[in-house]
Amino acid sequence: MRYVEIVSTDVDSFGDEEWDDLRAHLSEDEIAELGMFLVGNLGFHTFFGSLKFFPMFSPDGRLVSQEESAAIYGDRPESLQGEAAE
Amino acid sequence: MSRLAPLELDQIEDPELRDLITQCVELGVPDELFPRIIARVPAQAKTLLGVMLELHTKGTVDHQLKEIIRIQLARFVDDPYFSALRSKKAMDAGLTEERIDAGCDDYEDSELFTDAERMALRFSDQLFLDPDKVDKIFYDQMREYYTDAQIMEIGTFLAIYHAAHLFMKTLNARPLAA
């Protein structure tokens, strides 16, 4: 989670110390897997956030309008909160 | 050397994955390094490489424009690996370093781009640096030049490559060849 946070918000601060920290807990194969997961997700949070669309279903499984969904889930993904603070 | 060592080619036995690596090398983006690193997880690597090649070389948005956008994004995050790579297909079609540099810098005032190309460059420029500017008004302007399908094509391309640049930057990777 520390790795993902650094990549998302301050990649320039990632150095040997952070790498050693990551390697202490994850194998090289696991880091490759985590990296691919990031590639498949990180950028989409920003892109889809800019398109302003929201989940079709409420947490209890109801099909809801985009307006109601925005009210339920908020109009800004939590993944973008770090950018908002910058 | 990358913090995460690539597999040797003879360690990669899956023929489909080897074929995708060959396609990457032929295109030049990514080179052999990125695929050999992610080849540690073959099933996911095949999916990701297929998506990256599809997004970069297929679709209806000009490949040269996508190559400029890709390099612009890589330079934004100071990723030395993806910044240094060049699509052989784009370069063979006439893309120049002058146009790449202009696309990464003064594209708004450059005569090397059409209004539609400037719009796409503005999209990639602002989506990750200042996403609040990419709002409904921005997308309305973009739709003067691009279809919804093309906007999705460019946006998806940006999303995948931006994150790939960040990942490779954390590996401190450099291209295999100078």
Q: What is the pLDDT of residue A84?
A: 44
Q: Is the pLDDT of residue A75 over 70?
A: no
In the DSSP assignment, the letter for residue A63 is B
ipTM above 0.90, yes or no: yes
Tell me if chain B has a CB within 8 Å of the CB of A42: yes
Could you tell me if residue B175 is inside a domain? no
- Residue B131: which residues within 8 A CB-CB, separation 6 or more? A46, A49, A50, A80, A83
Quote the longest CA-to-CA distance of chain A. Answer: 47
Distance from CA of B139 to the nearest CA of A (A): 8
Q: Same domain, yes or no, for A30 and A65? A: no
d(CA B105, CA B118): 11
- The verdict on a CB contact (< 8 Å) between B160 and A41 is no
Q: Same domain, yes or no, for B113 and B72? A: yes
Q: What is the share, in percent, of chain A residues with pLDDT greater than 70?
A: 86
Mean pLDDT calculated for residue range A72-82 = 64
- The verdict on a CB contact (< 8 Å) between B170 and A36 is no
Could you tell me if residue B1 is inside a domain? no
Q: Same domain, yes or no, for B140 and B71? A: yes
Q: Same domain, yes or no, for B84 and B112? A: yes
CB atoms within 10 A of CB B51: 15
Domain coverage including residue A72: 52-86
Q: Same domain, yes or no, for A60 and A35? A: no
Q: Same domain, yes or no, for A32 and A66? A: no
Mean pLDDT calculated for residue range A8-36 = 96
pLDDT band at A85 (very low <50, low <70, confident <90, very high): very low
- The verdict on a CB contact (< 8 Å) between B160 and A83 is no
Q: Same domain, yes or no, for B34 and B107? A: no
In the DSSP assignment, the letter for residue B6 is P
Q: Same domain, yes or no, for B147 and B76? A: yes
B131 interaction partners in chain A (CB closer than 8 Å): 46, 49-50, 80, 83
Domain coverage including residue B21: 9-57
Q: What is the pLDDT of residue A36?
A: 96
For residue A20, give the amino acid letter.
D
pLDDT tens across the length of chain B (178 residues): 899 999 999 999 999 999 999 999 999 999 999 999 999 999 999 999 999 999 999 999 999 999 999 999 999 999 999 999 999 999 999 999 999 999 999 999 999 999 999 999 999 999 999 999 999 999 999 999 999 999 999 999 999 999 999 999 999 999 987 6
pLDDT band at A53 (very low <50, low <70, confident <90, very high): confident
Nearest residue, CB atoms, B159 vs list A14, A47, A52:
A47
Q: Same domain, yes or no, for A69 and A31? A: no
